[in-house]
Structure 1
Amino acid sequence: MELLAVEAVGRGMSVRAAEEPGLVGPAYWYGGPVAGARLAGRLGFALLEPTDNWLTELPEKFTGRRVRAATVAEAWALDRPTFVKPPRDKSFPADVHADGSRLPSDLDPVAPVLLSEVVTFAAEYRLFLLDGRIAAASRYAVFGRLDPCPLDTDPAERAIAAEITDFTDRLVAEVGHTLPSAVVVDVGQLLDPYRPGYRWAVVEANMAWFSHSYAADPARVLDVVLRAAGPRENVRLRDLAFERR
């Protein structure tokens, strides 16, 4: 947040905290979905986000695993190890659960969740997409542990960046119309359990206005955030279907 704020000030923008009195719009937003939904009407911004079921509707050639939509009640009934996560918010940590009894018991039974078979990602990368192209990117995890790294300083990571671009171009060519014009897509090196090597797969999609930039260029990240959570009158026709209600 601080990096984006510095970049915004450098562009002549005024950066204010949501709790400050007297805020007026039109405004842009970077922050959580609860406060964003509460302030969107008063400050005149529109929040663009992928649909809850976007990942479940992707062809398996892009996910590399089976992912399905369910409710918390269905997740409680799981009897085998499953990766469980909220589709958008952070109401509970996304994690592998040995069975449904390991999930928090105070969740809303009808709340949506995503259920995925358990797989191993060797490394995971965050992509800020603008109009179907990668505007900014960063590695953020290695074998599930936080390990941010820029993609333009290390020769090995530059080679990885070329693979990511190729995979993302194929993804956007086929399903780009199912995403808002400004969005975050996380991708990773999915290990093959039966032979050496990996394949690229989508981890998930997220709202750009509620996503950590890690080691990505803050200036390019801000370009995506401003499109994803800016004045409602600036929303493009194709993005109206992705506005948070």
Structure 2
Amino acid sequence: MPTPIRTLALSPRVTATGHALAAAARRRGLGCETLREWRAPDGPSGIGSLYAGPLFADAVAGGLGLGLLEAPAGWLAELPYELTGRDIEFTTVAEARALRRPAFVKPPNDKSFPARVYPDGSGLPGPDAVDDDAPVLVGDIVAFTAEYRLYLLDGEVVTGSRYAVRGALDVVPLEEDALHGEVLDFAALLFAPGVPPLPSAVVVDVGTVDGRWAVVEANAAWASGHYACDSDAALDVVLRAARPAAEVGARDARFLRPVRHVVQ
């Protein structure tokens, strides 16, 4: 039975995805409210879900009583090589600063520093900008030929979009892409026995590298751009991924983003 959601909250940052999700929410009779301050509103708000970037979400989710689902920070590094096509290490930024080779380095579930190829660890932010124990993913450098965004609900792709070809933005609905069937077949492997689990509502990016399929990364649905995905289906995933904490079941409780307190 669908969870009753009264109002979808949006961050002050205006985005195309925020507009699309708001329109989808209104079509089904849900409220929609743009929060103007970096704190939860005083008193009862009726807010039951959220679409926002990680930093804003951290500032308001606790006060709103929302539970935010996300993939475990080390999920990508725990996948078998057959699903990633590259070696990926889950470590700390302090360890990554010691790298003496080029690598792709990114924060797993935040944007505390740019995710990109670093010639070596000396280019990573210092301890004055990012705590030494902050988690990072360090991966081999690969070039994806085509990349796709998939919204997953209970292990099924409910909507998807191609978003890049050879590193350049190239957006088309998944069902209009020639590799539509291959994308879905590969996505099914994410839920095969022995593969590290994901939340019931999540976004996963996949792509092709040297003619084979590979996972790019996992993203929180409540903070992901939808590209050419169906906005109504994407909203279904967002409403599950960001909902009242009291309504998060036992299966998803382990995927709750830790409550953080952000001072602005």
Pick one of 123, 145, 151 that aligns with 2:174: 151
Structure 1 residue 176, shift from structure 2 partner: 6.2
Q: 1:58 to 1:7 in 2, by over 3 A?
A: same
- More helix per residue: 1
Query: What is residue 136 of structure 2 aligned with on the other side?
Result: 113
8 Å CA contact 1:26, 1:44 repeated in 2? no
Q: What amino acid sits opposite 1:223 in the alignment?
A: D
Q: Using the alignment, how far apart are the partners of 1:36 and 1:28 within structure 2?
A: 11
Give unpaired runs (5+ residues) of structure 2. Answer: 1-17, 259-264
206-215 or 7-16: bigger deviation = 7-16
Aligned-residue CA RMSD (Å):
1.6
Tell me, in whole angstroms, the C-alpha distance in 1 between the residues paired with 2:58 and 2:203: 19
Segments of 5+ residues of structure 1 without an aligned counterpart are 192-197
Give the aligned residue type for 1:38: A
Counterpart position of 2:212: 199
Cα deviations by residue, 1:192-239 (Å, 9 ceiling, x for unpaired): xxxxxx100111111000000011110100000000001223222210
Partner residue, 2:82: 61
Aligned to 1:174: 193
Percent identical: 52
Please tell me the residue identity of whatever aligns with 1:120: A
Residues 27-86 of structure 1: CA distance to partner in whole angstroms, max 9, x if unpaired? 101102233233223322210111000011111111111000111122221111101111
Partner of 2:34: helix, strand, or coil?
coil
SS at match of 1:27: strand
Matching residue of 1:194 = none
Contact 1:24 1:42 in 2 (8 A): no
2:122, 2:77 → 1: CA distance? 23
- Mapped to 1, the partners of 2:60 and 2:103 lie a distance apart of 36
Aligned partners of 1:96 and 1:144: how far apart in 2?
A: 13
Q: Go from structure 1 to structure 2 and tell me whether the alpha carbon gap of 1:177 and 1:109 turns closer, same or farther (over 3 Å shift).
A: closer
Equivalent of residue 163 in structure 1, options 165, 182, 187:
182
Instruction: Give the letter for the 2:236 counterpart.
Output: D
Structure 1 pair 135–52 and aligned structure 2 pair: CA distance change class (3 A): same
State the partner residue of 1:46: 67
Q: Determine helix, strand or coil for the equivalent of 2:48.
A: coil
| Aligned equivalent of 2:161 | 138
Equivalent runs, 1:1-245 vs 2, <5 Å: 1-19=18-36, 21-22=41-42, 24-105=45-126, 106-153=129-176, 157=177, 159-174=178-193, 178-191=197-210, 198-245=211-258
**Distance apart, 1:95 and its partner CA:** 0.7
Report the CA distance between 1:18 and its aligned residue. Answer: 2.2
Task: Summarize deviations over 1:112-162 as a string: whole Å, max 9, x none.
Answer: 110001111101101000000001101111222222211223xxx1x3110
The CA distance in 1 between the partners of 2:134 and 2:33, in whole Å, is: 32
